[in-house]
Amino acid sequence: MQLGVAAALVDGKRVAGDVTIEDGAVTEVGVSPAGAAGTAVPGFVDAHINGIAGVDFLTADPSDYRAAAGSLAQTGVVAFQPTLVSSPLESYRRPLAVAAVAMAEPGPGLPRVTGVHMEGPFLSREWPGAHDPANVMRPDPRLAERMRGLGPVTMMTLAPELPGGLEVVERLAGAGVIVSCGHSDADAAQANAAFDLGARAITHVHNAHRRWAPRDPGLGGVALVRDDVFVQAIVDGVHLAPETARAAHVAAGPRFCLVTDAIAAAMLDPGRSELGGREVQVVDGAVRLPDGTLAGSVLTMDQAVRNLMSYGASMAEAAHAASTAPARLLGRDDLGVLRPGAPANVTVLDDGGHVTRTVVAGVVSWSQ
């Protein structure tokens, strides 16, 4: 199969010519004659998404996952890590079991589930964001281990400054779970301690954590300057001003990861919705609790790419932030790469950054 594209981004560089795919892998790039239009880029990876198109991963069943994956394919996503917000421990059992089924039985050609991101419950009461304060708690190593045993937990967001936080960071990282620091009041010393013990990322930079100040840079300031930390950001024009998003991107460079933090209301008309059992309202592109607190987003990954491009990033930089950076954060060498021999997980963009085709494991998942 030839994609019919004019060029491809290979290791961040534009290579003119078409792309050939056989048996689920990319076999050639720069094929002559080139296709009529479009640029093939590594398929997008969303490492933080609560739901989409009416599906909430906290209450979803396997058929809901397939429906969500179909919607995500329209936005260029080839793989995603569903997020579960802070909830009572017993309520995690079912959604983690459902996620395990979705991982084991992906629909043909549909975006893949990479594992589950537990956003909480070990979060700071100073920075709960939209998480129900009744469900957040102090870090507990034994409870973290129990949660890990309930299903395919691949990432956990926590506040490392809380009593027991650093012990949980060390244990989870040692067990291969990706630790992201967020919803946190950590100062610079506490943030550095967590990253030294194996935490690998910050969750939605400049949102729901200690604010940066000249003599108190906090978690965000540390994450932006450490070469071993991935910086996740919600670039929807609501969570971050354009200048703030661009500054974080420039500072983090190849470590900058676009995430959507989307909720079930994404891709639907504005109005009422829910997140973690809490009522939210979507107005003017923002999701908020009744008290005005931001509560996730209705962002899609293709829109995040276009937003970042409009703030000054090149297509190659924006595509890297939507694909390669999150794939490296998740430790997935089969994602975020487009070159001969690599799995054919590919998104095709027009010159404006709009998705025209999504290919998952060599199968066209969606086409305009």
Structure tokens at 305: 């790419």
Contact (Cβ atoms closer than 8 angstroms) between residue 160 and residue 169: yes
Burial of 271 (0-12, 13-18, 19+ CB in 10 A): exposed
Structure tokens at 309: 């491009």
Structure tokens at 62: 């396997």
Beta-bridge partner residues of 158: 181
Structure tokens at 21: 């795919």
| Torsional sign, CA 59, 61, 63, 68 | positive
How far apart, in whole angstroms, are the C-alpha atoms of residue 43 and residue 29?
A: 15
3-class DSSP assignment, residue 332: coil
Can you count the helices (H) and strands (E) in the chain? 10, 22
What is the Cβ-side half-sphere exposure of residue 69, based on CA atoms within 13 angstroms?
27
Query: What distances in angstroms separate CA 82 from CA 41, 69, 229, 303, one per listed residue?
Result: 23, 11, 21, 19
Any idea how long the chain is? 368
Q: Which residues are catalytic?
A: 261
Q: Are strands 7-10 and 13-16 parallel, antiparallel or unpaired?
A: antiparallel
Burial of 363 (0-12, 13-18, 19+ CB in 10 A): middle
The reply to whether omega before 141 is within 30° of 0 (cis) is no
Beta-bridge partner residues of 272: 281
**What type of residue is 84?**
L
